[in-house]
Amino acid sequence: MAGTLNFSPDDRYNAFITTCREAPFCDGALAGTAVAVKDNISTAGIRTTCASRILESYVPPYDAHVVGLLREKGAAIVGKTNMDEFGMGTTTETSAFGPVRNPVDPSRVPGGSSGGSAAAVAAGFVPMALGTDTGGSIRCPAAFCGIVGLKPTYGRVSRYGLIAYANSLEQIGPMARTVEDVSRLMSVIARYDPHDSTMLDRPYDHRPSADIAGLRVGVPEEYFGEGVDPRVAETVRDAIGVLEGLGADTVPVSIPGMRHALAAYYVICTSEASSNLARFDGVRYGPAVDTKKTWHEAYQDLRQAKFGTEVRRRIMLGTFALSAGYAGRYYAKAQVARRNIKEDFERAFRDADVIAGPTMPTVAFRLGEKTDPLSMYLSDILTVPANLAGVPAISVPCGRVDGLPVGLQLMGRQFEDERVVDAAFAYEQEVRR
């Protein structure tokens, strides 16, 4: 069976960059289900901009692996969602197409960089969406908008067709209003792809279970320390208490490497961005350059005009970190810190099956409130460790502070995505009674 889904959202939140007014679908497990796709994931015949002027007219000739899987299962791709430019941001305010507004409170940010996907789900435009997560870009907007978002284990979902920002960190993942729908979408997109050399053949075929009796929940004090709003911390501790009431056991664990996580993350991700974004030069990708100028002048002018401030900042930071005489001082040390964090998680998982803490240190802040880069980067402190370690992490709504959603973050061992989904599902089912 084939059909067409008419899609005309009242996009007062600026959640979409491009919409497909008539989205075709076919028979399958997701037949006729409207799915929104973040605008850095390639869609054949549908504009894919990365929320950047440098790609504002780019239409990919092929589907990303995950998009092909969605189409095979009958999903209707109804639009491409707004995002921080090239995924570089925590608020979806760096988009060249304007900021996204949080449906919970339109004066607030939705989180980033998958803010458009989160807003589209939270507003009820679509039941599920795809986002990407480099340092928290699925979990942050899920927490701020009061929905569920899963960052899969690195290597479990193909990145083929994802326009790269930081290859060694980013993952495509599902976002929805319920854990069950997140799990359902994950079961579609987690299929082996030989095009992605970082993938392992570990398909996800799982129906969530609320039976978590005996589950060991690790609680690291580092996730409740300086910078975390005490009311957010209290709300999350109450949520952990709900898991205890369902038969889980809490155990103290430690992630001491967290003190270096943010610095390591920003050195690594900006270094990879510097390399990845070099292709946008007006020759391979981007608008054609002025051929009357020297190559260097044309290249400089194009990137100055078409890249936003935050993208240029991160390219410069990464170029500096990789430059002669500094690569050993910064990039190599960041990789050592990354290995230490991974080992911290491995030690913690000897005593715990999942690790619990807040997704974000605060609730959603107001649009324009955080204008200096440092304060924005500090917002990622609780999400980047999971990316550095490559472990799965989910954010599930667990209450409100000042009427704004708070997210409970649950992290698991590599390729134990099912376990974190079950823990989130058990919590969700209990509080929805």
Among candidate residues 113, 114, 379, 395, the one labeled active-site is 113
Q: Which residues pair with 36 in a beta bridge?
A: 79, 129
What is the pLDDT, as a whole number, of residue 298?
A: 78
User: Catalytic: 137?
Assistant: yes
CATH annotation of 2-189:
3.90.1300.10
Mean pLDDT computed over 216-220: 98
Phi and psi at residue 136, in whole multiples of 5°? 130, 10
User: Catalytic: 113?
Assistant: yes
Does 1 score more than 80 pLDDT?
no
Mean pLDDT computed over 142-154: 98
What is the pLDDT, as a whole number, of residue 290?
A: 67
CA 121 to chain centre: 14
- Gap between the Cα atoms of 227 and 91, Å rounded: 18
Among candidate residues 38, 73, 80, 370, the one labeled active-site is 38
Does 15 score more than 70 pLDDT?
yes
The beta-strand segments (E) located in 11-142 are 16-19, 22-26, 34-38, 76-81, 128-133
Mean pLDDT computed over 268-288: 90
Question: For the chain, what are the domain ranges?
Answer: 2-189
Among candidate residues 42, 52, 137, 271, the one labeled active-site is 137
Q: What percent of the chain has pLDDT over 70?
A: 99
- Gap between the Cα atoms of 31 and 40, Å rounded: 24
**pLDDT bucket at 112, cuts 50 / 70 / 90:** very high
Cα atoms in the Cβ-side hemisphere of radius 13 Å centred on 364: 33
pLDDT in tens, 335-382: 999 999 999 999 999 999 999 999 999 999 999 998 888 889 999 999
User: Catalytic: 187?
Assistant: no
* Structure tokens belonging to residue 50: 């990365």
* Farthest-apart Cα atoms in the chain, separation: 71
Mean pLDDT computed over 146-175: 98
Does 300 score more than 90 pLDDT?
no
- Gap between the Cα atoms of 169 and 133, Å rounded: 8
* Structure tokens belonging to residue 8: 């005309």
- Gap between the Cα atoms of 242 and 240, Å rounded: 5
**pLDDT bucket at 326, cuts 50 / 70 / 90:** confident
The helix (run of H) or strand (run of E) holding residue 303 is helix 295-306
pLDDT in tens, 28-60: 999 999 999 999 999 999 999 999 999 999 999
What is the pLDDT, as a whole number, of residue 302?
A: 83
**pLDDT bucket at 292, cuts 50 / 70 / 90:** confident
